[in-house]
Structure 1
Amino acid sequence: MSAATPDSIADIHALLAFYAEAGVDEALDDMPANRFEERAPQPRPVDLPAAEVQEHRPQAGRQAPSPRTPPAERPPAQPATVPDSQQIAFARELAASAATLDELRECMAGFEGCNLKFTAKNMVFADGNPQANVMFVGEAPGRDEDLDGKPFVGRSGQLLDRMLAAIGLDRSSAYISNVIPWRPPGNRAPTPQETEICRPFIERHIELVKPKVLVHLGGASAKTLLNTTEGILRLRGNWRIYSGAAGLEIPAMPTLHPAYLLRTPAHKRLAWRDFLEVKMKLRALS
Structure 2
Amino acid sequence: MRVNVLLIAGAWYVAAALLFLTLGARGDWGFILAFRGQKLLALTVVAAAVAVSTMVFQTITANRILTPAIMGFDALYVLIQTMLVFTLGGAGAFALKGMPMFALETALMIGAAGILFGIMLRRSEDLNRMVLTGIVLGILLRSLSGLLSRLIDPSEYAYVMASSYAQFTNVEGDLLWAATGITITVLALVMLHARRLDVIALGRDNAMILGLEHRREAQRLMVLVTLLVAVSTALVGPIVFFGLLVSAIAYQVAGTWRHATLLPLSALIGAGMLVVCQTLFERVLDLQSNVLVVVEAVGGLVFILLLIRRART
Place the TM-score, normalised by the shorter chain, in its bin: under 0.3
- Structure index of larger Rg: 1
Give the TM-score of the pair, scaled to structure 2.
Answer: 0.23
TM-score with structure 1 setting the length: 0.24
More helix by share: 2
Give the structure with the higher percent strand. Answer: 1
